[in-house]
């Protein structure tokens, strides 16, 4: 049996799955937590990866890393981090993003150039913030990487003389690589970094080999977390994936690149050679966790409470912008609760409003995708709740398919590792995960909930 490994280095943790390369069967897995924060030392990811792989790699022939997108990792000429990494959810670069949009001539110019319009999350905006606020450190920067690029490079030995690599899926989230023509836009890099020209990683194709570990194990290209999830789920054109992690993402597979001048849809590439139009929100499961803490319970308790409230929470509505928001672009917004009356000021109504507010925000992101969905796949930690899955079907107004719980980002990385090891024009065909369907049965209720949510959002943020 040939064995491969896939790594998911996310905001919260490092997860590894070890799989049979022929069937995708998970043989063993492990998870190591990361520290919290919107800027962290890149070394903590490497230490977590070392712990996760300890005694897990004895028969592994190939490995790939999928990582959180957009994070800014800057290295000096000796390969040492110049500063802590700025993560995707760090919103200090919101003003820098607005500056860049204006300097290139507006949103359409950016959409045409790189498929996406810079927001605070994008690497290009973080580079501008870095250049303006820490110019001495910017001057020391020799290389600019993404989190998965950094870990892939360290797996290969981390020699300063060894050129780092990335892939088209993760490169497409930087704001200075074009999915449409497959090239870096070094003019945009220079614009963002105030004339500096650091080295960028080589962009590998989907099945290319990045190199080998010092012990001789193959290291595949790796990719961004959303592209890896799409690969792990084996999605097809017009499948729409809704991922409820700390943040929320909604994406689909497409044969052609997208260029949305509104900035809502990111025109990403995927890990197979196709494209991955994606909309991201900053607030998803964090809304549920925070509400559960407020109510003195956990996620299970939150679901029990929410089940005692009717759909619509008797008119209580939560705008879930607890960490600002990326879609809609409201980096400085806060969460707010509306419809408070004596009879709605109850824990069970708040629990229901938190779930529905999160889902309404995700549903608005869903509506922005340029596709008519064939099916909706609901994944992520919050998707394991039957109550949330039923609520999602109501809010979306269509059937929601929930694959069996699994580490699909890490699984997608493992599938990529098997592809790089075996070669061929397509990734290995692994069986689709078992899935459960949840149907929309409350006709009209979901639309009414969404209409009330939209009215309140427009009242404050029109």
Binding site feature residues for substrate:
69-70
- Whether the bond between 328 and the residue before it is cis, its omega within 30 degrees of 0, is yes
Q: Cα–Cα distance between 418 and 161 in angstroms, integer?
A: 27
Question: Which of 104, 119, 70, 187 minimizes the C-alpha distance to 328?
Answer: 119
| Tokens standing for residue 410 | 């890490």
SS3 54: coil
For residue 209, what are the β-bridge partners? 220
Beta strands in 193-265 (DSSP E): 202-204, 209-212, 218-220, 223-224, 239-244, 248-252
Question: Rounded to whole angstroms, what are the CA distances from 217 to 5, 85, 122, 155, 178?
Answer: 11, 27, 32, 9, 31
Write the DSSP symbol of residue 344: T
Angle at 250 between CA 72 and CA 392, to 5 degrees: 135
Contact 359, 438 (CB under 8 A): no
SS3 178: strand
Q: Would you tell me how many other CB atoms lie within 10 Å of the CB of residue 99?
A: 18
Would you please indicate which residues are annotated as catalytic (active-site) residues? 225
Phi, psi of 102 (to 5 degrees): -70, -40
Q: Cα–Cα distance between 354 and 371 in angstroms, integer?
A: 28
């Amino acid at each position: 049996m040939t064995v491969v490994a896939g790594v998911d280095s996310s905001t919260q943790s490092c997860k590894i799955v070890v799989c049979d390369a022929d069937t995708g069967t998970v043989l063993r897995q492990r998870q190591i937590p990361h520290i919290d924060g919107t800027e962290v030392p890149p070394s903590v990811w490497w230490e977590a990866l070392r712990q996760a792989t300890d005694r897990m790699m004895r028969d592994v022939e190939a490995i790939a890393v999928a990582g959180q997108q957009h994070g800014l990792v800057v290295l000096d000429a000796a390969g040492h981090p110049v500063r802590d990494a700025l993560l995707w959810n760090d919103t200090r670069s919101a003003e820098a993003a607005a500056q860049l949009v204006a300097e290139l001539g507006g949103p359409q110019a950016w959409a045409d150039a790189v498929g996406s319009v810079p927001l605070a999350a994008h690497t290009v905006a973080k580079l501008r913030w870095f250049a303006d606020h820490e110019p001495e450190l910017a001057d020391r920067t020799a290389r600019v990487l993404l989190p998965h690029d950094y870990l892939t490079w360290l797996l290969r030995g981390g020699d300063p003389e060894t050129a780092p690599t990335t892939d088209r899926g993760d490169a497409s989230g930087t704001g200075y690589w074009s999915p449409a023509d497959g090239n870096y836009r070094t003019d945009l890099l220079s614009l963002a970094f105030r004339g500096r020209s650091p080295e960028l990683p080589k962009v590998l194709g989907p099945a290319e080999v990045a190199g080998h570990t010092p012990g001789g194990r193959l290291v595949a290209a790796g990719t961004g977390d959303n592209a890896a999830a799409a690969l792990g789920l084996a999605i097809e054109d017009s499948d729409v994936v809704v991922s409820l992690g700390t943040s929320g993402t909604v994406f689909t597979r497409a044969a052609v690149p997208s260029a949305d001048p509104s900035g809502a849809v990111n025109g990403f590439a995927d890990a197979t050679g196709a494209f991955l139009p994606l909309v991201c929100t900053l607030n998803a499961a964090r809304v549920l966790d925070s509400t559960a803490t407020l109510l003195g319970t956990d996620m299970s308790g939150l679901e029990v409470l929410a089940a005692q409230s009717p759909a619509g929470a008797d008119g209580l509505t939560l705008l879930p912008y607890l960490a600002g928001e990326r879609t809609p672009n409201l980096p400085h917004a806060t969460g707010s609760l509306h419809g408070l009356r004596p009879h709605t000021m109850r824990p069970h109504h708040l629990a229901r409003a938190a779930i529905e507010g999160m889902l309404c925000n995700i549903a608005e992101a869903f509506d922005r995708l340029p596709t008519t969905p064939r099916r909706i796949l609901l994944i992520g930690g919050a998707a394991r709740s039957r109550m949330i899955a039923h609520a999602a079907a109501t809010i979306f107004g269509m059937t929601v398919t929930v694959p069996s719980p699994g580490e699909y980002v890490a699984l997608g990385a493992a599938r990529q590792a098997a592809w790089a090891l075996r070669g061929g024009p397509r990734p290995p065909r692994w069986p689709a995960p078992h899935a459960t369907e949840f149907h929309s049965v409350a006709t009209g209720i979901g639309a009414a909930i969404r209409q009330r949510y939209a009215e309140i959002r427009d009242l404050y943020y029109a």
